[in-house]
A = this chain, B = another copy of it.
Amino acid sequence: MGVSLADLAAITGSELRGDPDLAITGVGTLAGAGVGQITFLSNSKYRKYLEATKASAVIVGAADADACPVAALVAADPYVAYAKVAQRLAPAARAPGVHPSAVVDPGATLGSGVTVGPGCVVGAGAVIGDDSWLVANVTVLERVQIGKRVIVHPGAVIGADGFGIAQDAGRWIKVPQLGTVLVGDDCEIGANTTIDRGALEDTVLEEGVKLDNLIMVAHNVHIGAHTVVAGCVGIAGSTRIGKRCLIAGASGISGHLNIADDVMIMAMSMVTSDIHQAGQYASGLPLDSLANWRRNGARFRHLDELAKRVKALEKKSDKD
């Protein structure tokens, strides 16, 4: 069984060093892979395991090729090559079709090759594109449109009402949420992530957007193509995020902002203003011992006063 090393070289565009007919049956880590398995070396931190690997083959960069004690695939980017090899050797175990426990409204449209897993709910007028996969217990509400080859992980909710309320004489009344959600091709949406429908226009994920778990995408948000958002991020209403951005975990982005293309936001950042330029941004404070943190945090509450005192000293000093 397995796949020949030659086939894996072809799939990945790698240079093959070793027996082209070697049958590879699975993948493993550099330290843990055994006979019949292929592994990879991408992070130099793991180079120490290369010499003693028990794998039958290793995907390496050119710099490590000579040091590889077994057959090798020499790739421009070993991690990308590994991803393609793993996709070939360990394809996702899913069969197209609607699980009997799923509830798909008769007015929904499913493309060819779609899988709707157990416990999923798909509302009226929803469209799920070809080869997309709702894994389990996913809720896709009415009129949501999902592109092709999209994966939605368990517990995700797409198209719930946005948080639209208006204050009428001391009570909050509901503003109907009449837009929907458009999810582009090749997006992936993590477990228990929620994407609200637009208020009047639509919430949009362009193609290739990858959302991790427990992310909140509010109404009318627009996320550009190939942007990646890590877990626990909240994006407030009507914010527009550019293409190819990287938003690290647990960041919060206020509403009605514009974030440029190619912006990278570090973990736990608070974004409250537009970002006009590509680049790396951060906020938050690094961890410290509780005792130090208490001392410094107390000073922060008087930082403005401290700055004024420094200014006063400078004035006095200038006069001397």
State the CA gap A27–B179 with chains docked (Å). 11
Whether B285 lies near A284 (C-beta < 8 A) is: yes
On whether A282 and B293 interact (CB within 8 A), knowing A84-B173, A267-B270, the answer reads yes
Q: Which of A14-22, A65-73, A133-141 contacts B (4 or more CB under 8 A)?
A: A133-141
User: Does residue A44 face the partner (Cβ distance < 8 Å to B)?
Assistant: no
Q: Whole-angstrom distance between the alpha carbons of A84 and B22 in the complex?
A: 61
A283 with B284, Cβ < 8 A, contacts A117-B121, A231-B236, A252-B267 known: yes
A317: B residues at CB distance < 8 A: 313, 316-317
Q: What are the interface flags for A26-41 relative to B under an 8 Å C-beta threshold, 1 for contact and 0 otherwise?
A: 0111001000000000
A200 CB-CB contact with B under 8 Å: yes
Q: What chain B residues lie within 8 Å of A93 (beta carbons)?
A: 124, 142
A1 within 8 A of B: no
Could you tell me if A208 and B154 are in contact, using CB atoms closer than 8 angstroms? no
A 268-303 to B, binary, CB cutoff 8 A, 1 in contact else 0: 111111010001111111111111111111111111
How far does the alpha carbon of A141 sit from the alpha carbon of B51 in the complex, in Å? 36
CA A266 – CA B268 in complex, angstroms? 15
Binds B, one of A2-10, A108-116, A186-194: A186-194
- CA–CA, A62 and B196, complex, Å: 33
Known contacts: A249-B236, A285-B297. The answer to whether A139 contacts B136 by CB under 8 A is yes
Most buried by B among A153, A173, A208, A300: A300
Q: A174-B83, A194-B190 are in contact. Are A155 and B153 (CB under 8 A)?
A: no
Q: Which of the residues B174, B268, B294 comes within 8 Å of A87, measured between beta carbons?
A: B174
Complex Cα distance, B164 from A230, in Å, reads 11
B252/A249 in contact, CB under 8 A: yes
Taking A200-B28, A214-B214 as contacts, is the C-beta distance between A287 and B281 under 8 angstroms? Answer: yes
A270 touches B252 (CB 8 A): no
Contact B174–A196 (Cβ < 8 Å): no
Q: Of the candidates B200, B271, B291, B303, which one forms a contact with A299 in the assembled complex, judged by CB atoms under 8 Å apart?
A: B303
Jot down 27 A-B pairs with beta carbons below 8 A, ordered by A. Answer: A27-B178, A80-B173, A83-B175, A90-B178, A91-B176, A119-B139, A135-B141, A137-B139, A137-B157, A151-B161, A154-B157, A160-B190, A171-B186, A192-B192, A192-B194, A196-B213, A213-B216, A213-B218, A216-B232, A232-B252, A270-B284, A280-B291, A283-B285, A283-B287, A286-B301, A310-B313, A316-B317
Residues of A at the B interface (CB closer than 8 Å) are: 27-29, 32, 77, 79-80, 82-84, 86-87, 90-93, 99, 101, 103, 117-119, 121, 123-124, 135-137, 139, 141-142, 151, 153-155, 157, 160-161, 163-168, 170-176, 178, 186, 188, 190-192, 194, 196, 200-201, 208, 210, 212-214, 216, 218, 226, 228, 230-232, 234, 236, 244, 249-250, 252, 254, 265-273, 275, 279-304, 306-307, 309-310, 313-314, 316-317, 320
